Chains A and B, each alone.
Chain A
């Protein structure tokens, strides 16, 4: 499924029978749960919402239970007065699993939410069967480069607004192949989605949080569950060598390179990405 196919099938509407779970005082999370089998929970980066995942996980949901949810402070979930910390986001995810009676899950994370996947795996190791880090914000030697990029995005957002942020991040996030394939109409259509998905305040909160938290790659050595780094070979934020070195930090780490894909490789090749996740889960289940 190419980027054009994904865009054609992208449905950003929330379900009318809104599903929400209370995870702590005053905070409810919107979620969707589809399919049966090993549980795969998606973790949004700050630019994604739950509906975006449908077209990216529909094949996986044929033989897995896929849970997607909006982080607190984003989408249809509660926007608490104080934006959550990383630890609160992690605790929210566990509270959601508790409410859905999920004992253990695989986490599929993307970009900055790879930090959240790391933190959940470190803090709640008994609840995590494995983690997939797609286009990770984590680096093999640290996170300085990602922090600089996040800070630049934040400055663009604060000084020039949402459309300017989109212009800024589009060529950094999407690979050259996808950029050429979608052309200007695709660029403009995705911009329309981008502007509809989030508010400036939500994104600023997320980007500010992205500038905080632990950055040491040494933490990854403590993660005992299987971990898979997935990058596109046109991800300008992490090289193929960097992906291999990052994977080597995990006691049970591996990596996959998706040809021609960018920082969000599941958009370039949704079926290919799901096949990678399916194989990872199957191997982890076989070794469990």
Chain B
């Protein structure tokens, strides 16, 4: 989980830059409230597919996409 959180944060830093709000974004804070737009979320989801080697499914719960922490939880729940 810790490693997944760090890798997701790294993806966000790649998208928004090293001096962006991402450095201050807590793992459990809502991505939307933290400043991640819907378009950026789509880019993040695509980047996660490449980074972690899986494909998102339409039936993933909205809560799974809420924060860095919940995204990492989704990654951790995937079959090895």
Contact = CB atoms under 8 A, between A and B. Distances in A.
A195 B42 contact: no
B77 interface: no
Nearest to A166: B62
B11 interface: no
Interface residues of B, number: 17
Interface string B9-47: 000000000000000000000001000011101100110
Could you tell me the dominant secondary structure of chain B's interface residues? helix
Interface in B37-80: 37-39, 41-42, 45-46, 49, 55-58, 60-62, 65
Contacts of B37: 10-12
Contacts of B46: 185
B62 A163 contact: yes
Contacts of A190: 38
A222 interface: no
Contacts, number: 51
Contacts of B60: 188
Interface string A182-195: 10111111111101
Interface of B: 32, 37-39, 41-42, 45-46, 49, 55-58, 60-62, 65
A8 interface: yes
A196 B42 contact: no
A143 interface: no
Nearest to B46: A185
A186 B46 CA distance: 9
Contacts of B55: 184
Contacts of B42: 7-8, 182, 185-186, 188-189
22 contacts: A7-B39, A9-B39, A12-B38, A163-B62, A167-B58, A182-B42, A184-B55, A184-B56, A184-B57, A185-B42, A185-B49, A188-B41, A188-B45, A188-B56, A189-B38, A189-B41, A192-B41, A192-B62, A192-B65, A193-B38, A195-B62, A196-B38
